[in-house]
Amino acid sequence: MAGFNEMYEGDRVRDAYREIADWIRKVGVEALGRKQQEAETLFRRIGITFAVYGESGELAESERLIPFDVVPRVFTHREWRRIDSGVRQRARALNLFLGDIYRRGEIVKAGIIPAEAVYGNAAFLPAAAGFAPPRNVYSHIAGVDLVRTGPDELYVLEDNCRTPSGVSYMLENREIMMRMFPELFTRRRILPVDDYPALLRRTLASLAPASCDAEPNIVVLTPGVFNSAYYEHSFLADQMGVELVEGQDLYVDDGFVYMRTTQGPQRVDVIYRRIDDDFLDPLAFRPDSVLGVPGLFHAYRTGKVSICSAPGSGVADDKAIYTYVPDMIHFYLGEEPILANVPTWRCAEPEALAYVVDHLHELVVKEVHGSGGYGMLVGPAASAAEIEAYRARLEAAPTGFIAQPTLALSSCPTYVGNGVAPRHVDLRPFCLVGDEIRLVPGGLTRVAMTEGSLVVNSSQGGGVKDTWVLGD
């Protein structure tokens, strides 16, 4: 599948890539290869590694380096403006949706989304009902995954409303590119992304509970060093200048949350948590959780501490709910969606299921609650046996699946060892929602390093690229 190559329009180099094309020609393939190795050495030295988990959840290997590609991906200012407004629009609608379903349920009453899809959803958190978090914001960091199929065709592949990861790569990729290729940054104005941690901090500070009357004490809550995104957790805490805590560092006393410090207890006001709802509080959720803090959820419900993202936000990024986001935009904002959804069959619906079962060889089928590229079927790339096995799973529990056409994902020039060749990419911008909506011009571009592959997940061998938005 050829698809749209972002560098070319016919034989002509597109304006966005003019400098990149020049640069590749001048530098030459050999020098690029050397730079590639240099970059990897830098990443390893800084310790930007992640852990890889197998299908059954065991640690498959520790400390793999995410492949970094030295050829940046480029958006023009005009292209970015549309992404920017589309992502902001989506983040607003998703937050309004969450505020609605946990309090009034208007969208369900209006018959726009079936009650079952919301209240029967595994990610719906009954304990969060009837409570309004600060500023009515639930999803404070929304990662909206975009794919491109043509110069002006962009689709939202999925939303990540809980704790999207990857922003540290966005920042480190830029840092490494500026260090290795400073000359590239002098030729054309590339909009900076390095204020993201400051914006994140400002966003989190704006969400302090009413009970906080001083400078809010913000912390990042991590499951610990064995989590695959631990590097990112410590990176963000460091860049924001706040403490990185684990559950064992926190406790609840007299309704408030405290952290254990060398000078005794210190009150905590805002928790940017990077652990799942289930593990937040063994008293409220999974009693076997050792990662969480007993009593934390009660402190949250009584307005003594803010939790970002709010418990229960996950229902908005569920793949079954995803199909309704354009309807949410109409319903809450009265606007047309700026970014389209990928056409999606909900296998819960019998007609859709019948179509999907007959067309498995040309569709991508995903588990509604899956993530990370695990448990999905890419029809055109699958063997007959794989398709049959998947068909059996699908027919056994159709509500657990959605299907989408195999999109001809766009590709970008990528260093592949013996030259530069097109590889498929996606994009995840990170939208911050607090007292205002903030979005840095850029995001994480993930690239499928294998020729023809459409799977960009780092857990499946995908790599990353620096993502440029050109100045006006």
Query: Which H or E run contains 258?
Result: strand 256-261
By C-beta, is 41 or 302 nearer to other proteins? Answer: 41
Peptide bond into 309 cis (omega under 30): yes
57 CB burial (10 A radius; 0-12, 13-18, 19+): exposed
By C-beta, is 196 or 324 nearer to other proteins? Answer: 196
**CB hemisphere CA count around 9 (13 angstroms):** 8
Q: What SS3 class is residue 84?
A: helix
Rounded to a whole number of angstroms, the minimum distance from the CB of residue 213 to other proteins is 23
CA distance 355 to 139: 34
Burial 188-197 (b: 16+ CB within 10 A, else e): eebeebeebb
Biggest alpha carbon–alpha carbon distance for the chain: 69
Binding site for other proteins (CB under 8 A): 44-47, 224-225, 231, 234-235, 237-238, 243-246, 248-249, 259-264
**Identity of the amino acid at 359:** H
By C-beta, is 151 or 224 nearer to other proteins? Answer: 224
By C-beta, is 49 or 406 nearer to other proteins? Answer: 49
By C-beta, is 238 or 388 nearer to other proteins? Answer: 238
Cα angle value 325/129/372 (rounded, 5°): 45
User: Both ends of the chain: CA-CA distance in Å?
Assistant: 33
Rounded to a whole number of angstroms, the minimum distance from the CB of residue 262 to other proteins is 4
Rounded to a whole number of angstroms, the minimum distance from the CB of residue 264 to other proteins is 7
Rounded to a whole number of angstroms, the minimum distance from the CB of residue 261 to other proteins is 6
By C-beta, is 263 or 418 nearer to other proteins? Answer: 263
Rounded to a whole number of angstroms, the minimum distance from the CB of residue 237 to other proteins is 6
Rounded to a whole number of angstroms, the minimum distance from the CB of residue 58 to other proteins is 19
